[in-house]
Structure 1
Amino acid sequence: MLTLSIALLFSALSSSFAYAQTTGWITDAKHPPVKLRLLLTGEQQPQLKQVQAVLDVRLEGEWKTYWRSPGEAGIAPELNWSDSSNIAAVEWHWPIPHYFEQLGIMTLGYKHQVSFPLTLTLDNANQAARLKGNLRLPSCTDICVITDYPIDLSVDPAALTLDSDAMFLFNQGMSQSPKANPDVSVTATYWNAEQQQFIVQLNNQRPWQTPQVLVDGKQVEREFFAKPKLIIDNDKGLGSHQLTAVFDVTNWKGDVDLTGKSVAVTISDHTFATEHQASVGTLPIQYSQTGLVTMLGFALLGGLLLNIMPCVLPVLGLKLNSIALQQQASTSHIRTSFIASALGIISSFALLAGALSLLKLGGESIGWGIQFQSVEFLLLMLIVTLLFALNLLGLFEFKLPAGLNTWMASRGDSSHLGHFIQGMFATLLATPCSAPFLGTAVAYALGASYLELWIIFIALGVGMSLPWLLFAIAPSLMRLMPKPGLWMNRIKLLFGFMMLATSIWLVSLLMPFFGRFAVLMISSIIVIVTVIWLGRVHGRKLLIPLIASLTLFAGGGLVVGSLTAGNWATPVVDDLPWQKLQADKIDSLTRQGKTVFVEVTADWCITCKANKIGVVLQDPVYTALQQPNMVLMLGDWTTPNPSVTEYLQSHGRYGVPFNIVYGPRAPQGIPLPVILSEKQVMDAISRASQP
């Protein structure tokens, strides 16, 4: 009986040790304060060929080891598994570390005990594997020791059983390691070269409690990010809570420049840890010389200048007509009608602020004029502008329900709804424009908090409505306008044709969506129908001169075409030899001595067209851009383009146009103003190029 019992016990022990799921404790006689072991949890995912493991490290007393980015001193633990078999990959999960300071030196790491979860990916999930190699583990107190520990563990998927101790350690480590979290997003990352500071802004759907923010990455391995200053702003509008982390950054070699580099931003707070990759942008103006008050001034001035930008010119017909028709109205009516127009403008900017806030809250990329990337918006605007044009040309009139007169204030009625809609319409047409000061204010708003975004956009609306508010404050200015007469009908026709031209321009923006032929057909139909309708409404007095002008224009085109027919045999080349924007190649090009000129544009951007025709395609800029050492890159933002959006935001920009010059002497780039000048472009090329 005793013999049988011993045999059974021996059999049980033999079976239990037949397959060990742990290396057991591994120590080094020369460094007894540290011991470690590698365990398999028994959990596996056959479809992914993955097996879970955990590295359990114990440190006595004040000994500590390091995170993947150790800080100002130390090195990270490293597992060399090159002697392994049937192992395709080993993924190391890093729990959130702690800060340690000693003799003024700050490090990041772990003390007493740490569990590093590992995910082992097998080449063949149906065969046994072997994880064999060397773990180099640094540990420090007043002195530092680097110890190599041999690792050798068999991994047999068919023999794995659940190990509760290993599972506990694995889950403990994973609970402290970054995981995807849709509630948390990085909204902006900036580099302040003057202060040598890295600034990251984060949003959380839940209130921040005791957050910790860490930054590292392969492109910033030599930089040290000090413990950041955290600015918590919970309840920052629309249920979002903002956190700003400001890091002092140093490098033993001297000054640092993180612009354009990729970093990993790790965030932990109470019950979660998550990680985001981000590209470092240039410092927006709100963190450098100016603040919100200055930006309000820029917004007011930029909004005011929108009134004279080409995007808004078609609406000026409605404004002038409205002003002239109201000269005989009462002072109170004049005042309230102008206030209605101003409220329409301000309300439109408020709607834009609301829409951008919602997009920003949802983690979408935002920018000035992004609605022109939507085919639905373009079609809606096409219909509206076409109806406005036909109305101004006298082809028909709008009637509102409830006995209201004309739909728009251009007919001089007693309704203020027309004036209100007029203001809203002017704002919509203004959005593809960038005026001086406008780009700075918008960049500030889109990179700031939700409250500041709303404040800046309301200020833009107030700035654009200042002419209307001026007439509302001083109705006596109406006396300066000429009296109503026949000239008004002619002006009305002129601006009707301008509005029709706007409609055709909007049709041209549909080309990326529907193709060149479809756009040409739609434009032709609009022109033909308009000409026929004008003939029916205004008779031969208008139709005959109009047809004669169109015929002369077409005939002249045919004559010129026939005289230059030989040139048509060769293909028409682009204006300049542009390459598609590839931001990752700019650095290597500048290292080769090249100068890179980048233009980010969109078909719907009027200011972009003005810059190109007035500066880029004119000498001496045109000749300078064709030199052998020049590389031209074009970013097209006509339709949604995530890579172009990311590039814009990396430079603190949220709209077009954007032009920048890189070179051997300016590897981070020299941004150009919104509205270009010949001198500014040539100076930037000279400063960036080789001496």
Structure 2
Amino acid sequence: MKGRVLRIIQDIAGVLALGAFALVTAGALHAQTGSSTLETLVQGQSTASSTPQRADRKVQIDLLSETAAIRPGQTFWVALRQKIAPGWHTYWENPGDSGEPTRIDWTLPEGFAVSDIHWPPPKAIPYGTLMNYGYADEALLLVQITPPEGLSAEKVTLRAESRWLVCEEICIPEDGKARLTLAVAGSGAPLDPGKGADKIAAAVRDLPMEAPWPVKLTVAPDKLALTAETDALRAEDVAAMRFFPRDWGLITNAAPQELDWQNGTPRLVMMRGERKDQPVEKLNGVLTLTAADGTREAYNLSVSPAETVAALPAASSGAAPGGLSLWHAAAFAFLGGLILNFFPCVFPVLSMKALSLARGGDGAHGNRHHALAYLGGVMLSFAVLAGLLLALRATGAAFGWGFQFQSPWFVLVMAALFFALGLSLSGVFNFGGALMGVGDSLTRRSGASGSFFTGVLASIAATPCTAPFMGAALGYAVTQPAVEATTVIMVLGLGFAAPMTLLSLSGAFARLLPKPGPWMETLKQVLAFPLYATVVWLVWVLSLQTGADGVLGAGAVLIAVGFAAWLVGMTQASRAFRYTVSAAVVIVTFSLAGPMVDFAQDARQGESRTAASAEVGEPFSVARLEELRAQGRPVFVNFTAAWCITCKVNEEVALNSDAFQEALKRGNIAYLVGDWTNQDPEISQMLEKFGRAGVPLYLLYSGNGEPPRVLPQILTEGFVLRQLDDVGQVRKTQR
């Protein structure tokens, strides 16, 4: 009896425990779905639920519907929503270099049809040397479901079982189940929006659409190019463009995709992938355009090759000048010309011009003649320079600001000229005084020829320097038709000539100058030494171009110039004899030294491209840059030249310091040096691509596949270090 009572008590306890478990489970389900079965029956609303998922899962899923009820035969949108933990990501239909796309298996009532996943446009997710495609934070994987025409049920339940791979530093395969119960409405009943209607509407709007303009595919042995053949897109409105392939192996996912502009139309250049030895029959994928305001549009592409070429032509213009109009470029050119007067490359010449102003004696009328003559010399020089640049462009040659200094012959002639001018200022001879406007005039009648030739010489001396604003202006000029290009270059010359011209015209400035006297002869001789320093610099440039043999040739030429100057300065011999012998000595010496310089330059062509900066960086090449970027490594690129004074100042101030080297190591940033001292087609193409007509150009690639930061032409150490540390911090955040 006692045992029977005990068993009855145990049975009652078991029933109570089972009931308690059922209540707890029901409460948990109610908390997750936010609605009860009773509410569904009374209100006819949809009910979504998912199998209880562990809290430590990196992705939580549920189902959303655009409507709370459905009609027989009427298609509607449903989304499997992934709520992804911060720092983790899931994958697109083509996951890229690693990963797996999400899979969904549907269990639907009889007669229902479901589409394939309508994938939202992915994002590029760099991981080490790999590039993956996927989603972070939240993703809505959309499908369209169509009920049968003869549906008679009052409600239906849609069930989805999904599997996905979620990754951060490690990858975890996960799975989950979700279900959605929807009421079936009559043919005339209004359909209320579902609880996910707003999110689904936004996701549908973001789906890739058909491109509104034709897209041309060009195939080269190592690259593919997509060109949007439309004038509706403008460079200033497009911040970035990226192509996501649906098929594996057609492009190198981790390689940078370079956007350039061909005659006003965008072209996206991609490196071919593992299947580059196979013919390209069709390129399928999604092209995304990111606007300047950060909004993004996506377009479905399925294009066949329009042409196959041996190599893709270089970009006709780069990103830098894309947002400039002619008036902006002209304004930048004028400002750059003004600032150029304060650069060390023109100081020796302009200081002599200032000395000629201090001589006075010509009155206001004479000063006007000198001012206009100097202005004419500058403007004529810039007109000749514009003509040379346009002629070179017409031949297809690569060129840029200061291009003439890439010729050892030009450097040698300039060294000889500056040496002769220095000897003249030192009193060895007086012939060159007229040339500089500090002695007798070449033509006694006008007295302005000296000022004219001072303008010419100052213009030539200015070309190794690049002032702020000049880079963008000249980059615009070299990509424009002849009229626009000439306009910008002439405005640059006008800005360069303006300060000295206005000072020559200013009576107030003339009154501030001290009166002429013996001090002027002393100052004239002192000013010879900056010219000698310029000669030393030019010979150093020549040494980097041609080596020791070129320096030997330059030494012979300078000795000949010195001898000729001494001979011209002699008073014992007849003037005709002195000038004839001097000219003969210089001509013979140049003819003997010239072949030596040419031979020395040819011998140097096979050596390292870098000169002064080779000790702290690798020589630049496009192949090396793309290799480093494919590895996901940040890269700092310094395009420089030995004859570029702005470059040398920047390197001394900001790029040759221990702090710069430590910042490179701290951020694991590669340092490439592109030396343009001699002509280099690869560097010329890079300058043109980024809208620069010459050096310096500084690019900082972050390592995440995005376009580089273009740094200013004038650097400070603090600014550069902040940029390097910022890139290093971005890389840490992405990891």
Corresponding residue of 2:422: 389
Corresponding residue of 1:362: 395
Mapped partners of 1:338, 1:675: distance in 2: 31
Indicate how the Cα distance of structure 1 residues 589 and 281 shifts in structure 2: closer, same or farther if over 3 A, else same.
farther
Mapped partners of 1:225, 1:627: distance in 2: 35
Mapped partners of 1:441, 1:215: distance in 2: 23
Indicate how the Cα distance of structure 1 residues 527 and 275 shifts in structure 2: closer, same or farther if over 3 A, else same.
closer
Mapped partners of 1:505, 1:200: distance in 2: 38
1:476-531 CA distance string (max 9 Å, x none): 42111111122211211121111122122212222244322551684599589969
1:539-573 CA distance string (max 9 Å, x none): xxxxxxxxxxxxxxxxxxxxxxxxxxxxxxxxx99
Cα contact 1:317–1:491 (8 A) shared by 2: no
Corresponding residue of 1:671: 710
Corresponding residue of 1:592: 631
Displacement of 1:605: 0.5
1:596-626 CA distance string (max 9 Å, x none): 1111111101011101111112242232134
Corresponding residue of 1:70: none
Corresponding residue of 2:370: 337
1:642 is matched by which residue type in structure 2?
P
Please tell me whether residue 650 in structure 1 is matched to residue 684 in structure 2: no
Task: State the identity %.
Answer: 30
Corresponding residue of 1:64: none
1:78-125 CA distance string (max 9 Å, x none): xxxxxxxxxxxxxxxxxxxxxxxx99876689xxxxxxxxxxxxxxxx
Cα contact 1:322–1:412 (8 A) shared by 2: no
Q: Which runs of 5+ in 1 are unaligned?
A: 1-101, 110-188, 204-212, 227-248, 255-262, 267-272, 400-404, 539-571
Displacement of 1:658: 1.1
Indicate how the Cα distance of structure 1 residues 281 and 420 shifts in structure 2: closer, same or farther if over 3 A, else same.
same
1:421-447 CA distance string (max 9 Å, x none): 110100101001011111121111112
Structure 2 matches for 1:274-285, cutoff 5 A?
277-280=312-315, 283-285=318-320
1:623 to 662, 665, 678: 662
Corresponding residue of 2:487: 455
Corresponding residue of 1:193: 238
Mapped partners of 2:711, 2:267: distance in 1: 30
Corresponding residue of 1:410: 438
Displacement of 1:310: 0.8
Cα contact 1:615–1:678 (8 A) shared by 2: yes
Mapped partners of 2:617, 2:266: distance in 1: 39
Displacement of 1:678: 1.9
Corresponding residue of 1:481: 513
Q: When the two structures are aligned, how many residues end up with a matched partner?
A: 428
Displacement of 1:285: 4.4
Cα contact 2:640–2:647 (8 A) shared by 1: yes
Corresponding residue of 1:577: 616
Indicate how the Cα distance of structure 1 residues 529 and 684 shifts in structure 2: closer, same or farther if over 3 A, else same.
same
Cα contact 2:429–2:569 (8 A) shared by 1: no
Displacement of 1:387: 1.4
Mapped partners of 2:527, 2:350: distance in 1: 8
Displacement of 1:359: 0.8
Corresponding residue of 1:126: none
Mapped partners of 1:325, 1:638: distance in 2: 39
Indicate how the Cα distance of structure 1 residues 481 and 573 shifts in structure 2: closer, same or farther if over 3 A, else same.
closer
Displacement of 1:278: 3.0
Q: In terms of Rg, which structure is larger?
A: 2
The answer to which of 426-435 and 515-524 deviates more is: 515-524
Displacement of 1:219: 4.5
Corresponding residue of 1:374: 407
Displacement of 1:354: 0.7
1:674 is matched by which residue type in structure 2?
Q
Mapped partners of 1:356, 1:532: distance in 2: 34
Structure 2 matches for 1:87-166, cutoff 5 A?
none
Mapped partners of 2:306, 2:465: distance in 1: 35
Mapped partners of 1:279, 1:191: distance in 2: 20
1:372-406 CA distance string (max 9 Å, x none): 0112211221222121111111101218xxxxx93
Partner of 1:410, secondary structure, is coil
Partner of 2:723, secondary structure, is helix
Corresponding residue of 1:8: none
Partner of 1:659, secondary structure, is strand
Cα contact 2:660–2:721 (8 A) shared by 1: yes
Mapped partners of 1:669, 1:103: distance in 2: 30
Cα contact 1:608–1:656 (8 A) shared by 2: yes
Q: TM-score, normalised by structure 1?
A: 0.55
Mapped partners of 2:321, 2:214: distance in 1: 31
Mapped partners of 2:319, 2:690: distance in 1: 8
Corresponding residue of 1:683: 722
Partner of 1:634, secondary structure, is strand
RMSD after superposition:
4.1
Cα contact 1:602–1:636 (8 A) shared by 2: yes
Q: TM-score, normalised by structure 2?
A: 0.52
Corresponding residue of 1:300: 334
Please tell me whether residue 465 in structure 1 is matched to residue 497 in structure 2: yes
